[in-house]
């Protein structure tokens, strides 16, 4: 249908921009998406929607180059200084990517000034306040209340508020009521269903059937939702104590996203500590590190594993420890394990172990 729309009007900026996001979000093809965004802003260089969407795409697809995304955000805001969606996502970018909470807050405030009843903006601002000003619970709650007053059926705002009520207010009963509102607002929202299942498994441990039913609803709503699948593996492993079902769920999660570093890391732990399968564990460590080459925990755990499984080849373990320390020079557990390793494998050089 996108192709037909563009055949009818090859320079329609909104169609080009929508197609670009489809190529990125659904087709997982950032190169084609970028080319389509370039066509959109060539067709209409002042189209604030296209510029804002392109900026968001750049911030997510190319986080290593934030300057391009910021330049595009600035173009979008110049084109329309009151564009609420652009102001909101720019606020997110300034906080999450630029690590500049002051500029981020100013951008959120601009967005809210231009549309005081935009539930998505209010929700994002509340999340921002939770992350930067968590001690001011009253202010955070007031923003959440504004969000769900603006849109009482905004499932994302309701879920986010539920998380705050549980984590920030330590009020599981109010949190549960808010989760129920979120599920009522959107009964097939996989992320909400999964979050609610996690909440139930932690706060209502006496009723695991209820949590499991919610996990099943989540993966029925979206069978490839990686977070839902991964959270369900935790439940099956730690609550149900069923390694066969756990492994099957890990396999589903990895099939859904073969490069999801957290899933691969968790599965590695399962293979090492539950299945006691060193060959599969080693293979999974390699995949986990390929997915995230600078994850200090994974690198350190792999180094420890190599030192235990291949004691005859300490060089591999040492190289992995060095990578772990490079990734995080202040990681106390890795430093301590490395020191023990050096004291056992390099007894001729006690100074290195002591320095570690």
| 170 contact partners, CB below 8 Å, separation of at least 6 | none
Average predicted confidence (pLDDT) for the chain: 96
Burial (0-12, 13-18, 19+ Cβ within 10 Å), 261? middle
What DSSP letter does each residue of 259-319 carry, written as one string?
A: T-HHHHHHHHHHHHHTS--HHHHHHHHHHHHHH-TT-HHHHHHHHHHHHHH-TT-HHHHHH
What is the distance between the alpha carbons of residues 260 and 254, in angstroms, rounded to a whole number? 7
Residues 175, 199 contacting (CB under 8 angstroms): yes
Residue among 129, 327, 351 at smallest CA distance from 302: 327
Q: Tens digit of pLDDT for each residue in 8-62?
A: 999 999 999 999 999 999 998 999 999 999 999 999 999 999 999 999 999 999 9
At residue 53, the pLDDT reads 98
Residues 94, 73 contacting (CB under 8 angstroms): no
Taking only Cα atoms into account, the Rg of the chain, rounded to an integer number of angstroms, comes to 24
What is the distance between the alpha carbons of residues 303 and 61, in angstroms, rounded to a whole number? 31
What is the distance between the alpha carbons of residues 188 and 166, in angstroms, rounded to a whole number? 22
pLDDT band at 290 (very low <50, low <70, confident <90, very high): very high
The region that residue 292 occupies, defined by phi over 0 for left and psi between -120 and 50 for alpha, beta otherwise, is: beta
Share of the chain above pLDDT 90, in %: 95
At residue 350, the pLDDT reads 86
pLDDT band at 72 (very low <50, low <70, confident <90, very high): very high
H helix or E strand, kind and range, residue 39: helix 30-43
At residue 351, the pLDDT reads 84
Residues 253, 229 contacting (CB under 8 angstroms): yes
């Amino acid at each position: 249908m996108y192709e037909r729309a563009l055949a009818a009007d090859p320079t329609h900026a909104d169609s080009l921009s929508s197609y670009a996001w489809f190529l990125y979000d659904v087709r997982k093809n950032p190169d084609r998406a970028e080319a389509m965004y370039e066509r959109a802003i060539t067709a209409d260089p002042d189209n604030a929607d296209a510029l804002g969407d392109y900026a968001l795409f750049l911030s997510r697809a190319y986080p290593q180059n934030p300057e391009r995304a910021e330049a595009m955000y600035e173009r979008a805001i110049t084109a329309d200084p009151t564009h609420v969606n652009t102001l909101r996502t720019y606020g997110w970018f300034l906080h999450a990517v630029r690590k500049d909470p002051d500029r981020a807050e100013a951008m959120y405030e601009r967005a809210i000034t231009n549309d005081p009843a935009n539930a998505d903006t209010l929700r994002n601002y509340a999340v921002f306040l939770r992350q930067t000003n968590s001690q001011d619970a009253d202010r955070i709650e007031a923003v959440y209340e504004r969000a769900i007053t603006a849109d009482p059926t905004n499932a994302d705002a309701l879920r986010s508020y539920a998380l705050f009520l549980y984590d920030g207010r330590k009020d599981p009963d109010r949190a549960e009521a808010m989760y129920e509102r979120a599920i009522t607002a959107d009964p097939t929202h996989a992320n909400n269903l999964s979050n609610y299942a996690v909440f139930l498994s932690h706060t209502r441990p006496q009723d695991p059937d209820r949590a499991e039913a919610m996990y099943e609803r989540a993966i029925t709503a979206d069978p490839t939702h990686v977070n839902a699948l991964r959270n369900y593996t935790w439940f099956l492993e730690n609550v149900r104590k069923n390694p066969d079902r756990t492994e099957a769920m890990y396999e589903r999660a990895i099939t859904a996203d073969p490069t999801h570093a957290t899933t691969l890391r968790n599965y590695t732990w399962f293979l090492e500590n539950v299945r006691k399968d060193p060959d599969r564990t080693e293979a999974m460590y390699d995949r986990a590190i390929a997915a995230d080459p600078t994850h200090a925990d994974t690198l350190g755990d792999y180094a420890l594993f190599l030192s235990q499984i291949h004691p005859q080849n300490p060089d591999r373990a040492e190289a992995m420890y060095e990578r772990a320390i490079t990734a995080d020079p202040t990681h106390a557990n890795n430093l301590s394990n490395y020191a023990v390793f050096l004291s056992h494998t390099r007894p001729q050089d006690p100074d290195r172990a002591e320095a570690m």
